[in-house]
Amino acid sequence: MHLKSLTKRQLQPHKALIFDRTLLLSDELLLRVFQKLPESQRKPSSLVCKRWLSLQGRLVRSLKLLEWDFLESGRLVSRFPNLTRVDLVHACIVWPRSCGVLLNHRVVSVPVDSEVSQNGFLENGKVLASNVVDRGLRFLASGYPNLRKLAVVGASELGLLSLAEECSTLQELELHKCSDATLRAISGFGNLQILKLIGNAEGLYKSLVSDVGLTILAQGCARLVKLELSGCEGSYDGIKAIGQCCQMLEELTLSDHRLDGGWLSALYYCENLKTLRFQSCRRIDVYPGLDEYLGSCPTLERLHLHKCQLRDKLSMRALYMVCGAVRDFVVQDCWGLDNDILGLATTCRRVKLLSLEGCSLLTTEGLESAVLSWKDLQKLRVVSCKNIKDSEVSPAVSTLFSILKELQWRPDTRSLLSSSLVESGMGKRGSKFFKKTWRPEVPA
């Protein structure tokens, strides 16, 4: 047959073989090539053709879903068949068509409109109904039996049970708008190691996690290693149950907790606890009780305080007694940390690392008294503490600085900023960064 007599449709396969040489490569070989690409080049390469788009979807392991319909329609499973970590939080929120204001909360970002309930921004139909969320979880469980991590809002007990039946390898779970009834399904996740519970998110929604839920959690998660309780209520009994049942627990985080007075002494039962974190807590313990009932955590190594109220000397003294064996002491952007509060921490004799940031009430004298009492101190970090002055540092502290393994000293950011401006030339007369742009007004 003469070449000119061939139709365009007959020539098309030959052109594909000539110009698209990747058709000669198998999917497995192309996947190995795509795995070698840096993350910045994977997304652009998926736009080359439909085949490359499909292959790139197989490499995606973690995804944050934005639209709930993408899950229920089945497109999520077909587009990304090998996901192991899925975040459904954003998709569980009903977003208005036109949203000009976005509220960034510590827990989640939500749209803001004129209809605000007294119970929070995510009430009155702003979150998907529990039956809709449960149906989506069943779709997710059937498509991803090897799921390892999940974050979801408003799931019920039935939805979590269906997920536990199919996803036996699930290790990390984040439950927003959680309640005591929801936690009855937690025992179905036999391999769960990391759990984050958000009960009451102030300004967003209200949900109750009490001692009942904490006890159910403790009895159902014996292999738990990390636990975060955000906006949860409870008391001594709930924390005690967690310590007695979750004997592998190594890290406990309390965010904006609402625990009753006396709960601190229950940390004694957390025999393997290594890290204790407080985030955005208005109080540590309103009434810690007598010293002889407090006990201590002998295995505790790290104490972190972030954006907390530390003005109560009684509760801070009790906290330091419980954390007497701590080695890393980190305070960031907390209110009320003055010389007296930090001085109480000298009961922790084994401190090797001290990190202070945003402690505006602390003075050079208070810092000096604390650091000189810790004989094992090896690392020191002081940032944005405006009442700590370089000129007030004593010779004893200067000698200590010289023998530390690590030292980060930036207590006065204003002086640091001015010195950096001088070095860069900014602020000098005639600098291109500060040109004279105003003109004096001429009187009429």
* Predicted pLDDT of residue 116: 53
* Predicted pLDDT of residue 192: 94
* Predicted pLDDT of residue 146: 92
* Predicted pLDDT of residue 183: 93
* Predicted pLDDT of residue 128: 87
* Predicted pLDDT of residue 44: 72
* Predicted pLDDT of residue 99: 60
End-to-end C-alpha distance for the chain, whole angstroms: 95
* Predicted pLDDT of residue 430: 44
- At which residue do the structure tokens 């039956």 appear? 131
Judge contact between 172 and 140, C-beta under 8 A.
no
Q: What is the pTM of this model?
A: 0.81
Radius of gyration of the chain (CA): 29
* Predicted pLDDT of residue 200: 83
In order of 25, 169, 309, 350, the CA distances from 374 in angstroms are 64, 45, 24, 7
Dihedral sign for Cα 362, 364, 365, 366, please.
positive
* Predicted pLDDT of residue 104: 64
* Predicted pLDDT of residue 433: 39
* Predicted pLDDT of residue 79: 85
Residue 195 to residue 221: CA distance in whole angstroms: 9
* Predicted pLDDT of residue 159: 93
Positions of the chain with pLDDT lower than 50, given as ranges: 1-11, 15-17, 417-422, 425-444
Which helix H or strand E contains 422, and what residues bound it? helix 413-424
Residue 250 to residue 273: CA distance in whole angstroms: 4
* Predicted pLDDT of residue 97: 57
* All residues at 6 or more sequence positions from 186 whose CB lies less than 8 Å from its CB, including other chains: 160, 192, 195, 216, 217, 220, 221
User: Which tokens in the block code for residue 165?
Assistant: 């039946």
* Predicted pLDDT of residue 391: 84
* Predicted pLDDT of residue 100: 60
State phi, psi for 407 to the nearest 5 degrees. Answer: -145, 125
- 3-class SS of residue 194: strand
> Residue 387 gets which letter from DSSP?
T
* Predicted pLDDT of residue 427: 40
Residue 180 to residue 199: CA distance in whole angstroms: 9
- 3-class SS of residue 342: helix
- At which residue do the structure tokens 């907790």 appear? 257
